[in-house]
Amino acid sequence: MRSAIPKDVKMSLKVMVNKEKTKVPFAEANSKSAEVILSFLMLPLGEIVRVFEEHYLDKKPVVGSLTPMYRHLTTLRSDYFWTDGGKNMLLNPSNSFMSGPVKHFRCGDMDCKKKSFRNVSIYYDSGTCDCGKPLNRAMGEIEPKPQAGGDGILVEGLHFLVTDDLQLAPYEPGSMMETLVYLGIVVTEGAEQLNVTLGYNEIVDLLKRSLLSKTPLTDVILCVINKNMGYVLEDILLDKIELESTSSKRMTVTALMQKSTNKLLFVKGREDFVDFILSFLTIPLGGVVSLLRGKTCFKGIDNLYKSTSNLIKDKHFITGDAKRRLQEPQLPPYYVSKNQIFSLSEQIVNSIYYYESITDSSDQTIGKGSWMRYKDPKGDQGCYVKPGMFKISDDLTFLKCFFSNSAILSKLKIPPSDVKEMEVQIGLKEGLSILKAALRSTTALADGLVKHITKASVASNSAQSDGLHNKTSNKRPKTKVSP
Ligand SMILES: [Zn+2]
């Protein structure tokens, strides 16, 4: 499996800089450099958070509630999870695109008593043999069916324009001006063209900026320090998500709201709901854009995603599969929990027939074979989190809940008479709301769920869901995100 962003990555661009050296309206890129930007869509959300946590020593960027949830996950005891492997899959989610040989691991015990089952895992030490020992003995590599076009995404030798807000458009030599006009790019007098090579640090910066800024290219290329650090994000238009199909799977949680402030205090839910919110970390960015119908609130990423169907034609992609890997990325094998309510697909592993020849006491060689049985690295239950009752906070952090509601409320110094308890059904629509809020708000549960809890107040505030902002309303303040 290749790493998210290889450390030796290089991207060469010909950038256009305005006369005042304050803006990069566009850059020219070759196929390889365009692929680096497109590959952002294949990064799972948890991997993006992990890269930021590892890369930035101070001023670590906070991606909505995903960063608090991820940091919390690193501190959680293993006994929250069926297996250590499952926890590790959430902390280090693999890139959705597996290339190269796939390693396989079997029982570490050479004298395994459950030999006849021949358990196997494709993740090191993250599955348990039926005998109870870890599957950690390497048994060779299996070459996957070669992909036409290999790891590549785009046909080599093409020319692309990248706009400041990450629209990516191919152009024929000689037709650059037409493409600029088509994209609505105006080049002012005195603009200058410079050759720039971006390395790993700048590419991670570009990824960060593509989530937190409307002008990622300018930010990175000119290292313009945005004086207006932290800016107001657009309103979440949650109710505008049009759903083509409704998933029948639903989860039930209890929301505790404070009556006097109409604030969500916390949510109580079972392992299915916790499993579901944790699974956000495993979804590749392109999959998130697809689930949210192109409206993630990450403008640059939405533009990039749109470019893969509106601007980049089929003939520019190496294969139809390369295009699909960006638009509907599959998760690696065994990543989708049985508690998932989004329609996500995962890669399928090939069946393996294990054959060995044994020489018996009379020097006779006997061949013996059987199908190997893949073990789910998350655990045989097919989900990440062990059963329990959990108290889930606004920023998607959670803990096992051993106390009654009244005990928790007395700790919060809130009289029970000021609290209303409501049962909330979490289906596809509510799940998408929470996902969308988690991308940009550190209070994802309140932002994503409250609208669904208090339907009546949503109706009275309908002006807001139409994008009109009622300044006199006592609506929660807009979330500030520091870049
Ligand atoms: Zn065993």
Task: Kindly report, residue by residue over 71-81, the tens digit of the pLDDT.
Answer: 999 999 999 99
99: CA distance to ligand 1 center in Å?
Answer: 28
93: CA distance to ligand 1 center in Å?
Answer: 26
* Residues, CB-to-ion distance under 5 Å, ligand 1: 107, 109, 112, 114, 129, 131, 133
**What is the average pLDDT across 455-474?**
36
102: CA distance to ligand 1 center in Å?
Answer: 21
Q: Which amino acid is located at 48 in the chain?
A: I
| Strands, sheet with 159-163, edge to edge from the N-terminal-most edge strand | 168-171, 159-163, 26-30, 11-17, 192-198
90: CA distance to ligand 1 center in Å?
Answer: 25
User: To which H or E segment does residue 13 belong?
Assistant: strand 11-17
130: CA distance to ligand 1 center in Å?
Answer: 6
278: CA distance to ligand 1 center in Å?
Answer: 30
- Model confidence at 437, pLDDT cuts 50, 70, 90, reads very high
370 vs 302, residue with greater confidence:
302
Whole-number Å distance between alpha carbons of 417 and 478:
29
Q: What is the pLDDT of residue 116?
A: 62
Q: What is the pLDDT of residue 471?
A: 32
- Model confidence at 117, pLDDT cuts 50, 70, 90, reads low
Token code pair at residue 404:
């009654």
Which residue do the tokens 């599969």 mark? 321
128: CA distance to ligand 1 center in Å?
Answer: 8
75: CA distance to ligand 1 center in Å?
Answer: 30
135: CA distance to ligand 1 center in Å?
Answer: 8
Which residue do the tokens 């998933």 mark? 247
Whole-number Å distance between alpha carbons of 97 and 1:
8
126: CA distance to ligand 1 center in Å?
Answer: 13
139: CA distance to ligand 1 center in Å?
Answer: 14
Q: Which amino acid is located at 395 in the chain?
A: D
In angstroms, how far is the first alpha carbon of the chain from the final one?
A: 30
pLDDT tens-digit map of 204-253: 999 999 998 889 999 888 763 233 333 333 333 333 344 444 457 789 99
Whole-number Å distance between alpha carbons of 275 and 390:
11
Q: What is the pLDDT of residue 302?
A: 96
469: CA distance to ligand 1 center in Å?
Answer: 61
129: CA distance to ligand 1 center in Å?
Answer: 5
461: CA distance to ligand 1 center in Å?
Answer: 60
Whole-number Å distance between alpha carbons of 1 and 12:
25
Per residue in 80-93, is it b (16+ CB within 10 Å) or e — as a string? bbbbebbbbbbbeb
Please state whether 257 falls in left (phi above 0), alpha (psi between -120 and 50) or beta.
beta
* Strand ranges in 271-404 using DSSP code E only, listed in sequence order: 353-359, 365-371, 373-374, 389-392, 398-400
* φ, ψ (nearest 5 deg) of residue 27: -140, 155
Q: Is the pLDDT of residue 393 over 90?
A: yes
Token code pair at residue 319:
């294969």
136: CA distance to ligand 1 center in Å?
Answer: 10
Residue 93 forms beta bridges with which residues? Answer: none
Q: Is the pLDDT of residue 455 over 60?
A: no
**What is the average pLDDT across 415-429?**
90
Do the Cβ atoms of 120 and 375 come closer than 8 Å? yes
pLDDT tens-digit map of 304-332: 999 999 999 999 999 888 898 899 888 88
86: CA distance to ligand 1 center in Å?
Answer: 19
Q: Is the pLDDT of residue 108 over 90?
A: no
116: CA distance to ligand 1 center in Å?
Answer: 10
pTM, to two decimals: 0.83
Do the Cβ atoms of 442 and 242 come closer than 8 Å? no
Kindly report which listed range (126-140, 362-376, 382-396, 450-464) carries the lowest average pLDDT score.
Answer: 450-464
Do the Cβ atoms of 163 and 25 come closer than 8 Å? yes
User: To which H or E segment does residue 354 belong?
Assistant: strand 353-359
Q: What is the pLDDT of residue 247?
A: 55
Whole-number Å distance between alpha carbons of 257 and 25:
47
Cα dihedral 440→94→3→347 (10° resolution): -120
Per residue in 350-361, is it b (16+ CB within 10 Å) or e — as a string? eeeeeeeeeeee
73: CA distance to ligand 1 center in Å?
Answer: 29
Tally the residues of the chain. 483
Q: Is the pLDDT of residue 123 over 60?
A: yes
Provide the residue ranges of all domains of the chain, joining segments of one domain with +.
102-144+346-374
Residue 210 forms beta bridges with which residues? Answer: none
377: CA distance to ligand 1 center in Å?
Answer: 15
pLDDT tens-digit map of 242-293: 444 445 778 999 999 898 988 899 999 999 999 999 999 999 999 999 999 9
371: CA distance to ligand 1 center in Å?
Answer: 16
112: CA distance to ligand 1 center in Å?
Answer: 4
Q: What is the pLDDT of residue 478?
A: 39
Q: What is the pLDDT of residue 103?
A: 77
Q: Is the pLDDT of residue 451 over 80?
A: no
**What is the average pLDDT across 121-143?**
79
Q: What is the pLDDT of residue 383?
A: 92
- Model confidence at 150, pLDDT cuts 50, 70, 90, reads low
Token code pair at residue 241:
């998500």
Do the Cβ atoms of 267 and 453 come closer than 8 Å? no
- Model confidence at 29, pLDDT cuts 50, 70, 90, reads very high
User: To which H or E segment does residue 366 belong?
Assistant: strand 365-371
DSSP state at residue 81: B
Average pLDDT of the chain is 82
Token code pair at residue 142:
């299996």
155 vs 227, residue with greater confidence:
155
Which residue do the tokens 């999959």 mark? 287
Q: What is the pLDDT of residue 226?
A: 35
Do the Cβ atoms of 160 and 175 come closer than 8 Å? no
138: CA distance to ligand 1 center in Å?
Answer: 13
Whole-number Å distance between alpha carbons of 306 and 317:
15
Token code pair at residue 363:
């020097």
119: CA distance to ligand 1 center in Å?
Answer: 7
Token code pair at residue 18:
């305005």
365: CA distance to ligand 1 center in Å?
Answer: 25
